[in-house]
């Protein structure tokens, strides 16, 4: 990575924040029984895994949270190019 690219730590934090943000935009915190967001960025590969135990539509929201994480990282890289 060049000096102007985000660090692995920034990428992981951005993805994790985006995934959690999406989940808590859909559910009240009290409705979420368990949430585990695992993000790794190694050798240029982003891996996002979201486990969500909530009242309803948990699998769909977990998938959307993972997509939101990936999109946030894409935006992070695009912002670095400007």
Superfamily of domain 8-81 in CATH is: MTH677-like (3.30.300.100)
Q: What is the mean pLDDT of residues 16-43?
A: 97
Tokens at 18, concatenated: 């985006």
Task: Identify the band that residue 10 occupies on the pLDDT scale cut at 50, 70 and 90.
Answer: very high
Return the higher-pLDDT residue of 5 and 34.
34
- Percent of the chain whose pLDDT exceeds 70: 95
Torsion sign (Cα): 15, 20, 25, 27: positive
What is the pLDDT, as a whole number, of residue 55? Answer: 86
**Residue whose token pair is 């929201």:** 61
What pTM does this model have?
0.90
Tens of pLDDT along 50-60? 999 998 999 99
DSSP conformation letters of the chain: --TTSPPHHHHHHHHHHHHHHHHHHHS-GGGEEEEEEEEEEETTEEEEEEEEEESS-HHHHHHHHHHHHHHHHHHHHHHHH-
Do 55 and 27 touch, CB atoms closer than 8 A? yes
What is the pLDDT, as a whole number, of residue 3? Answer: 66
What is the pLDDT, as a whole number, of residue 80? Answer: 77
């Amino acid at each position: 990575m060049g000096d102007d690219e985000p660090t692995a730590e920034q990428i992981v934090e951005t993805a994790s924040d985006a995934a959690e943000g999406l989940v808590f935009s859909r559910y009240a915190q009290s409705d979420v029984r368990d949430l585990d967001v695992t993000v790794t960025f190694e050798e240029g590969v982003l891996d996002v895994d979201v486990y969500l135990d909530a009242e309803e539509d948990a699998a769909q929201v977990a998938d959307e949270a993972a997509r939101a994480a990936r999109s946030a990282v894409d935006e992070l890289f695009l912002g670095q190019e400007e």
